[in-house]
Amino acid sequence: MREVDFDNKNLDKQSEVKEISDTLFGALQQTNASSEEISSTSQDLSSSIDKVIELVNQTSVKIDESNSLIALIQGISKNSNLLGLNASIEASRAGAEGAGFNIIAKEMRKLAQSSSESAEKISRALSDIKAAIDLVVAEINKVGLIASSQAASTEEITATLQEITSTAQLLVNKTINN
């Protein structure tokens, strides 16, 4: 009778160990799957960050190109102002006959001045945007490094969890076979 009680206790303990092993194995499988998902999304995040950096750099190049156009507009404005000034001089020489032409020359100089001021405002705004983009790029680079580090760490965790899961499976198999 004692032998039967001993066998029943062993069977109960084996059953408990098997149940615990099964629960552990299931939890590890679920954790492993979650870790693989995190690893995958971390890699996606890193890729997206790289794309954002590329787009921001392209925007920075466009701002530099815009600055070239602004310099061209400022050059045209200076030349227009000189033409207006020369036209005013010639209108003054013409006397009463050049009075109408003098009005046009003054308006041309006003337009040149307005264009120059607008170009300067645009140039300052683009400089501010460029400075902000540089700050954004610096922060995105930091985030990119963090994301890459997290992706690498997550891959290590996933590999470790896979090893633990395999060991837990061996434990379950041993429990079943004993």
Where the chain has pLDDT below 50, the residues are none
For the chain, first and last CA: distance in Å? 22
State how far the Cα of 144 lies from the Cα of 159, in Å rounded to an integer.
23
Number of structural domains (the chain) is 1
pLDDT of residue 5: 62
pLDDT of residue 7: 62
pLDDT of residue 100: 86
Comparing CA positions, the residue from 30, 18, 29 lying closest to residue 171 is 18
Assigned token pair, 9:
């206790």
Range of the domain at 8: 2-177
Comparing CA positions, the residue from 31, 53, 58, 47 lying closest to residue 147 is 47
Assigned token pair, 15:
């059953």
pLDDT of residue 124: 93
Alpha-carbon dihedral sign for residues 133, 134, 137, 139: negative
pLDDT of residue 6: 57
The domain that holds 97 is classified in CATH as 1.10.287.950
